[in-house]
Structure 1
Amino acid sequence: MKQQGILKVQSPATGEFFAEMFETTIEETSFIYEKSRKAFPTWSTMTIDERLVYFHNLRRIMVEQMDDLAKKISLDTGKVKLEALVADIMPVLDFLKSLDKTAKKTLVRQKVSTPLLLMGKKSYIEYMPRGTVLVISPWNYPFQLAMIPILSALVGGNCVISKPSEVTPFVGKVMEDLFKLAEFPEGVVSFAHGGKELGATLTEHGPDYIFFTGSVRTGKIIGQVAAKKLIPTTLELGGKDPMIVLSDAHLKRAAKAAVWGAFTNSGQVCMSVERVYVDRSVYNEFLRLVKVEVSQMKQGQSNSDDVGSMTFPAQIDIVRNQIEDALSQGATLETGIEPRHWKEGEMHVPMMVLSNVYKGMKVLNEETFGPIMPIVPFDTVEEVISLANDSEYGLNASVWSKNIQLAQTVASQIVSGAVVINDVIVTAANHHLPFGGAKQSGVGRYHGEAGLKIFCHEKAVMVDSGWKSSEIQWYPYHGKYELFLSLFKSYFKDRVNWFTFLQSFQKLIKLSKNK
């Protein structure tokens, strides 16, 4: 809730107003960019080891304040504290720890080989920071999905302007305070707190790189603005992730995974299990096991509860619309409560498992981002691969089978940024793997080595000792064509004719010296 530039922060789970924050004005954006660009020359010329000192401070403070951080994230998002700890805080701490081993190895000067035809020269790649990176992050995992791109950009020598989601502004303030406590230099990390208009203004100001996580619609708008100015971008967008359960799968494990994958964070995960395809021969048993699991789940905000509240009221409307659409077309609600019986203003949405679902329903086509699990039977492996790929999204998927070779074969045919075999979602927790989507799920990758390199210019450098007066390919060309022809024919044959090669090369050197 806004009041004269002040944002009153309300817990989605309890409705309690628990904090007040100043919003960043549109007029302040120029000043924020000015601070960032002023800080860049010093920060970018530090060694990686010098930058990592600040990262060590940040990790130490996060460990000391871990329980308090979990409480604050839970309060602002409505998720239970365990999910705040495991899915928001732990991945950031793990990433900070991994940078001690990976940052220098990935970003220091890399020697590369030089072709024989360029003998006498040396080649290497340098990684040069881009400048000011704009990170626009979402509300579902407001800590993790902001901190990891921020830290990835910073370690390479960039300065960062972060625009956290206005839906979870308190987490944005929490992050800002952490960087201050870790004593990062002024202007190296700046936070801008506000809504869509602020995000649009920050984008229009021309950062040197944009990293956006959010909806497909907003991602396309940012991509269009960036394209006009040739600003490189990474767009991490939506998903409609399929889970494929083959006939020989460990059904009890698969059912537990489906429930967790569909309902963790109330289903507000871009990598949620949003479509479950089960071999018809085990479909009824799988459905029974899923219903047993759901019946044992608890919703609430205590440490003994499993599923917290939704975070964003508008998302409940999307969930309601998809459920009503499915039920009106004949779907069966196996667990949960019909939307007409939901309590007005209640943010704890029931966990809903649907059967009798088919392609024409929104719940199988549109991203849900809520606690719905549609389960669909299939008859053949070829059919389920086609069903899994029949989506405009391609972020993540899972395949379940005791036959690992078969599961890998299926995984290889799914158009997706990631696939997990006999588990769900977890690729995002492995910082050594690239993360990103295919099709409408986004553009670009982060995590892994690529996640650090995307924030840098890759500069190719070649070095010659400079003692020769000329090169064989330089002017004049007189008398060289036949020698080059002989040189290339002898070199590019299946078996190199070294005698002819060296003879032609020596003649070219001699001819170049004479000229």
Structure 2
Amino acid sequence: MTKATTPPTEEPTTSPGTDAGDDPHPAVRAARQAAPDWARLSFKDRRDLLLRWKRLMVSRADELIDVISSDTGKPHADALLEVSLSAEHVHWAAKNAQRVLAPRRVGSGLLGIDQVATVGYEPLGVVGVIGPWNYPLFTPMGSICYALAAGNAVVFKPSELTPGVGVWLADTFATATGHGDVLRTVTGGGDVGAALCAAGVDKVAFTGSAGTARKVMATCAETLTPIVAECGGKDAMIVDSGADLTRAASAAVFGAMGNAGQTCVGVERVYVVEELHAAFVQKVTDLAAGLSPGNTPEADYGPMTLPSQAETVREHIADAVTRGGTAVLGGVDSVAGTMVGPVVLTDVPEDALAVTDETFGPTIVINRVADAEEALRRANASGYGLGGSVFSGSRTRAMGLARRMRAGAVSIGAVVAFAAIPALPFGGIGLSGFGRIHGADGLREFSRAKSITRRRFTLPIDVTSFSRTRKDIALTRSLLKRRHT
């Protein structure tokens, strides 16, 4: 998710596909002019162009990794993961758009027996995408590539902290496809994002805080512009009886500390059954203690991309300890400028900030519970509902817990596995937002359904005409009773 951000110290390098400044209207007008030609392309032609873009992205992956790392401070391994995930999603969206969106015949039913019924999906026109700073490539690409595959033009507004990625995407898309105005990037602060919402786009895909999402919705409401919003999470992991503790601990540490904890679907809370709690905490602590955060490309994770986020992390740690929680690794002193060392907290009260609010740092809360049902109740008590994970010795019990977890996506025996599977929709409920990106749902999110009927023969009775007779009405009444009583 995106927190409130501060302007970068330097203006980003612009390109023909990038507009810098406080007015996104020229970019939207250019995209609007380009949209019809892009929409008229066949699914196959768009597929081929998007796959060409993907291949260029992969051939220049080292360059893109450097841009991501420079913008965010994250190590190259984390940036590589973003590029890999993004390539998979471009590939899936390009390959599956025709199957999902092309017109198809549907059943006509008894009353429409004389009709051939088809439904298809048309592009919206121009989609505005407002991206975050924590995953400046992967997160917005979940909207960008699906919107493009559906036949839309896109105007992308990256975070002001990570403009380089947006410039790179516009450049390479133009190079690969020859359709430079179909994907344009606008750079600048929050005022540019607000202006984009009011610039006449046909839909806005937003990633950020729930508070900012409300402002985006209010602006879009003035023109009835629909939005899809992903607003972060406070994801929980459940560790049930019989769980593989080595695997669960490894997943918990990566889910909590990877990308310096700046992951919307990262693990922030863990509920462990009583008999496994002590052993699990020890395994997590040992793994976390061995991490090496730093500002080098080889570090396990990097600094806080948003400097003020470090203060939020410090506040949550201090509040947890003040309320009776225990810091078994690290503590308030782990926050040193924008670098935060790994922090493991246990027995934290459920009303503490570290349990209720998104910490977005390399911390993890591990609380003991009597059983898996108590773990589920606590996991579901949050106003957020983005992702979650379950580890259990029983496959049946794990599936039951996953189905009842209040979240848009859940991984069993892993963390955030759903993000790597392009066919799965992604999105949350409650404070985590609404709408879906990725998968078939993501393609349809950036399309409008179009229904068409065609009469194929004439019925012996016609009740949709003023020439209908009493006999027609009587026969219709008889059919109604026979069919529905």
Instruction: Give the TM-score band, short-chain normalised.
Output: over 0.9
Match for residue 389 of structure 2?
A: 398
- Work out whether 1:327 is the aligned partner of 2:321: yes
Within-5 A mapping of 1:17-166: 24-26=20-22, 28-86=23-81, 88-166=82-160
Given that 1:291 and 1:335 are in contact with CA atoms closer than 8 Å, whether structure 2 keeps it comes out as yes
Distance 1:114 1:275 in 2: 49
> 5+ unaligned residues in a row in structure 1: which ranges?
1-5, 11-18, 494-515
Distance 1:444 1:337 in 2: 37
Distance 1:186 1:169 in 2: 18
State the secondary structure of the residue aligned to 1:105: helix
Match for residue 503 of structure 1?
A: none
Query: Displacement, 1:210?
Result: 0.7
| Identity across the alignment (%) | 35
Given that 2:310 and 2:339 are in contact with CA atoms closer than 8 Å, whether structure 1 keeps it comes out as no
Distance 1:472 1:33 in 2: 48
State the secondary structure of the residue aligned to 2:293: coil
Match for residue 476 of structure 1?
A: 467
Match for residue 374 of structure 2?
A: 383
- Aligned partner of 2:481 among 475, 481, 489: 489
Given that 1:9 and 1:170 are in contact with CA atoms closer than 8 Å, whether structure 2 keeps it comes out as no
- Work out whether 1:373 is the aligned partner of 2:367: no
Distance 1:353 1:9 in 2: 36
Describe the superposition over 1:353-391 as per-residue Cα deviations: whole angstroms up to 9, x where unpaired: 011311121100001111110110000232211101111
Distance 1:299 1:70 in 2: 18
Given that 1:7 and 1:20 are in contact with CA atoms closer than 8 Å, whether structure 2 keeps it comes out as no
Describe the superposition over 1:272-296 as per-residue Cα deviations: whole angstroms up to 9, x where unpaired: 1010111111111111111111122
Describe the superposition over 1:337-366 as per-residue Cα deviations: whole angstroms up to 9, x where unpaired: 423x744xx322111001131112110000
Query: Displacement, 1:257?
Result: 0.8
Given that 1:125 and 1:458 are in contact with CA atoms closer than 8 Å, whether structure 2 keeps it comes out as yes
> 5+ unaligned residues in a row in structure 2: which ranges?
1-6
Query: Displacement, 1:300?
Result: 2.4
Distance 1:321 1:184 in 2: 49
Q: Which amino acid aligns with 2:267?
A: V
Distance 1:39 1:429 in 2: 31
Distance 1:105 1:241 in 2: 33
Query: Displacement, 1:481?
Result: 2.9
Given that 1:313 and 1:347 are in contact with CA atoms closer than 8 Å, whether structure 2 keeps it comes out as yes
State the secondary structure of the residue aligned to 1:167: coil
Query: Displacement, 1:42?
Result: 1.3
- Work out whether 1:272 is the aligned partner of 2:272: no
Q: Which stretch shows the higher mean deviation, 263-272 or 92-101? A: 92-101
- Work out whether 1:457 is the aligned partner of 2:451: no
- Aligned partner of 1:418 among 406, 409, 412: 409
- Aligned partner of 1:245 among 233, 239, 245: 239
Given that 1:262 and 1:274 are in contact with CA atoms closer than 8 Å, whether structure 2 keeps it comes out as yes
- Aligned partner of 2:426 among 426, 429, 435: 435
Match for residue 234 of structure 1?
A: 228
Q: Which stretch shows the higher mean deviation, 133-142 or 61-70? A: 61-70
Given that 1:236 and 1:442 are in contact with CA atoms closer than 8 Å, whether structure 2 keeps it comes out as yes
Describe the shift of the 1:100–1:445 C-alpha distance in structure 2 as closer, same or farther (beyond 3 A).
Answer: closer
Given that 2:210 and 2:231 are in contact with CA atoms closer than 8 Å, whether structure 1 keeps it comes out as yes
Name the larger-Rg structure.
1
Q: Which stretch shows the higher mean deviation, 475-484 or 167-176? A: 475-484
Q: Which stretch shows the higher mean deviation, 178-187 or 257-266? A: 178-187
- Aligned partner of 1:354 among 333, 345, 352: 345
- Aligned partner of 2:170 among 168, 176, 200: 176
Distance 1:420 1:175 in 2: 30
Distance 1:143 1:459 in 2: 32
Match for residue 4 of structure 2?
A: none
Describe the shift of the 1:122–1:276 C-alpha distance in structure 2 as closer, same or farther (beyond 3 A).
Answer: same
Describe the superposition over 1:369-416 as per-residue Cα deviations: whole angstroms up to 9, x where unpaired: 111101100002322111011111000111110201011111122111
Describe the shift of the 1:74–1:38 C-alpha distance in structure 2 as closer, same or farther (beyond 3 A).
Answer: same
- Work out whether 1:262 is the aligned partner of 2:262: no
Distance 1:109 1:342 in 2: 55
- Work out whether 1:292 is the aligned partner of 2:283: no
Distance 2:332 2:237 in 1: 24
Q: Which amino acid aligns with 2:418?
A: T
Given that 2:103 and 2:120 are in contact with CA atoms closer than 8 Å, whether structure 1 keeps it comes out as yes
Distance 1:478 1:372 in 2: 75
Query: Displacement, 1:60?
Result: 1.7
Q: Which amino acid aligns with 1:401?
A: S
Within-5 A mapping of 1:11-22: none
Describe the shift of the 1:203–1:128 C-alpha distance in structure 2 as closer, same or farther (beyond 3 A).
Answer: same
Q: Which stretch shows the higher mean deviation, 259-268 or 374-383? A: 374-383
Q: Which stretch shows the higher mean deviation, 41-50 or 256-265? A: 41-50
Distance 1:187 1:466 in 2: 46
Aligned length: 475
Match for residue 512 of structure 1?
A: none
Q: Which stretch shows the higher mean deviation, 453-462 or 177-186? A: 177-186
RMSD: 2.0
Distance 1:50 1:24 in 2: 31
Q: Which amino acid aligns with 1:116?
A: L
Distance 2:406 2:8 in 1: 42
Greater relative contact order (CA < 8 Å, ≥ 6 in sequence): 2
Given that 2:237 and 2:267 are in contact with CA atoms closer than 8 Å, whether structure 1 keeps it comes out as yes
Match for residue 206 of structure 1?
A: 200
Query: Displacement, 1:185?
Result: 1.4
Query: Displacement, 1:168?
Result: 1.1
Distance 2:370 2:71 in 1: 44
Query: Displacement, 1:330?
Result: 2.3
TM-score normalized by the length of structure 1: 0.88
State the secondary structure of the residue aligned to 1:375: strand
Describe the superposition over 1:268-323 as per-residue Cα deviations: whole angstroms up to 9, x where unpaired: 00001010111111111111111111122122244543122221101111111111
